[in-house]
Structure 1
């Protein structure tokens, strides 16, 4: 088979797909990964064939308050509810992701055009696409390939679609098919190639889902469960990491994407440094200069590493402090490492923190009002209370209950044969 992965230009979206791409490639299938040129180096570094789609010549139009209001009204959220918090996270993925593939200032959706052309030319049998790259669904449709989504976190798109369907089924809501904000948001991408919005186009033929079954997800979708096998980049093992730590090692990381969000000192880093300054621990902080700022004192027991694959350092750790992203979460979980999540209102933090707490595998704090005293208190608990190690073992069991990427290969072969257009 020929399999084309289509990925939005974020490493956090590419990395969960890499082990599956390896498995398919190792089974003798032809695999290519398409994304913006900015991700090509990461793709090839993983030993995969990259298809560069270029870059937009103009930035996508900004998200307007009017658009957000249309979504918020259609979804019927109440301020302060769980739905409201999920919506605040979802809007930055859903609307922004779609706009990346909208037409440019001259009416050309450049990235979408190039992806569709690559699919038409190469004729893959299966397109596996990132939900934040909705043009992947069009590419599959245009070349008659089976269409599968590859999740990297919560199914925001499926969840929003289900919620809108519920609202449209209720006449009192005032939401109708012709006022569906999700259909309107995707119309410039789908309509460019002559396709009308539909659930089949939005959600694919099936979904490859590496999240444990204990996490909530929308109902009614065909899902193919897969074990999350962490891939966090590659590089030589530093000499200091090859030796066992002399005291408990704690990893502090805020994720790869977080490096581009904060343009000044990250106060979560400052609070963590102050907290560990007097503790008998060794801290490995994978943060860059921007996150440190210019005036932050680094304690003697903190080692600053601009970048280090988490899969290298995590097996040596007794605890990890991070932002709640699923890439970091599962890199720690597969090694049974208790976790402290310091989350903000964006990202996957809401979902990962609830799962972490339900399993007793760690503690959660909020970035707003974060204090060094609270970080120190909770970190001491992670390192001394046996219940957290037991909870981390429970999360590990959840993850390993799903089939690995290699076991999915024959499943994807059968599903591709079922859904691919013939003739």
Structure 2
């Protein structure tokens, strides 16, 4: 069987697909992973065949307040409600991720065009695509392949679509198919290849879901549950990591993708450095020069790295401080490491932080007004109070309840046979 993975041009979206790609390749299937030129080296470093899609030659049009307001009005969540807070946390990402595949002002869209052409040429049996890469769904249809989404977080798009359908079925809401903001957002992607907006294109034939059932999900879709197996990149193991730490080791990581969102020194880094300077801990900080700034003092007990795979560091850690992204969250959860999430208003952190607190597996702080005293006090609790270790065991139990990537390979084989449209 031929399987084509299609991912958005971000390492945080590539990494969750690697363990499943390995499992399918190890089962004897032909596997290719399609991504922009910037991901080709990462794909090949993981031992997989890369299909380079080039680069977008112009940035996507910026997300406007009008577009976001159109979504907010159509969804109609009560201001301040849990749903309204979640929408506000993810709304910019939801629109921006999909606009990445819109044609530019001159009608060009290299990433989508090259992906669809690669699928037409190679003729895979199954296309497994990132929800932030809607062109993957088109590639499956254009090649006659079965179409599967692979989640890297809760099903935000499914949640939004379910709410919009509910509102469209309510005449009093004022929302109709003509005013559906999700259809308007995705129509340029699908229409470029002659397809109308449809739920079948938005969601594929089925969804491979590595997110524990205790996190929010849209229940109206066919799902194949899978255990999240952390992959955080490939690099030689540093010699010092082979030795057990002489005092508690704490990892500080604010994510690779976040480096493209936050400009200039990151106040979370400065607060953490000030907090740990007088603590009897060793800190491994994966931050770059932009996040540090020019004047920050790096304490003597901090090892500084631009990048090191978290899967190498985490088995030796007693705690981790991070931004709330799912890659870091599950890398820590796999080794039952207590977590401190310092979140802002963007991205996945609202979900991971609520789940973390509910399980008692860590603490959550907000980036606004963050102080060294807050970080130091909560970190001391995490390192000394046994309840946090009990909480991490509960998260680990949720995480490992689903079958591993290798175990679902026969399921994917059957689903591909059932849903592909060519002989």
Q: Which TM-score tier does this pair reach, normalised by the shorter chain?
A: over 0.9
Q: How far apart, in 2, do the equivalents of 1:158 and 1:93 lie? A: 15
Q: How does 1:397-408 map to 2 (within 5 A)?
A: 397-408=397-408
Q: How does 1:7-156 map to 2 (within 5 A)?
A: 7-156=7-156
Equivalent residue for 1:377?
377
Q: What SS does the corresponding residue of 1:172 show, helix, strand or coil?
A: helix
Q: What SS does the corresponding residue of 2:390 show, helix, strand or coil?
A: helix
Q: What SS does the corresponding residue of 1:217 show, helix, strand or coil?
A: coil
Equivalent residue for 1:165?
165
Equivalent residue for 1:248?
248
CA contact (8 A) 2:93 2:346 kept: no
Equivalent residue for 1:303?
303
Equivalent residue for 2:190?
190
TM-score using structure 1 length: 0.98
CA contact (8 A) 1:249 1:282 kept: yes
Q: How far apart, in 2, do the equivalents of 1:337 and 1:109 lie? A: 42
Q: What SS does the corresponding residue of 1:193 show, helix, strand or coil?
A: coil
CA contact (8 A) 1:319 1:383 kept: yes
Q: What SS does the corresponding residue of 2:192 show, helix, strand or coil?
A: helix
CA contact (8 A) 1:85 1:345 kept: no
Alpha-carbon distance, 1:84 to partner: 2.4
TM-score using structure 2 length: 0.98
Equivalent residue for 1:359?
359
Equivalent residue for 1:336?
336
Q: How far apart, in 1, do the equivalents of 2:98 and 2:314 lie? A: 34
CA contact (8 A) 1:93 1:132 kept: no
Alpha-carbon distance, 1:87 to partner: 1.8
Alpha-carbon distance, 1:56 to partner: 1.3
Alpha-carbon distance, 1:99 to partner: 1.2
Q: How far apart, in 2, do the equivalents of 1:144 and 1:297 lie? A: 57
CA contact (8 A) 1:325 1:348 kept: yes
CA contact (8 A) 1:3 1:125 kept: yes
Q: How far apart, in 2, do the equivalents of 1:111 and 1:236 lie? A: 31
Alpha-carbon distance, 1:83 to partner: 2.2
State the superposition RMSD in angstroms: 1.0
CA contact (8 A) 1:363 1:378 kept: yes
* 1:93-122 deviations in Å (ceiling 9; x for gaps): 221122111112212332211111110000
Q: How far apart, in 1, do the equivalents of 2:29 and 2:392 lie? A: 36
The runs of 5 or more residues in structure 1 that have no matched partner are: none
CA contact (8 A) 2:324 2:349 kept: yes
TM superposition outliers: structure 1 runs of 4+ over 6 Å: none
Q: How far apart, in 2, do the equivalents of 1:303 and 1:197 lie? A: 50
Q: How far apart, in 1, do the equivalents of 2:108 and 2:188 lie? A: 10
How many correspondences in the alignment? 423
Q: How does 1:163-242 map to 2 (within 5 A)?
A: 163-242=163-242
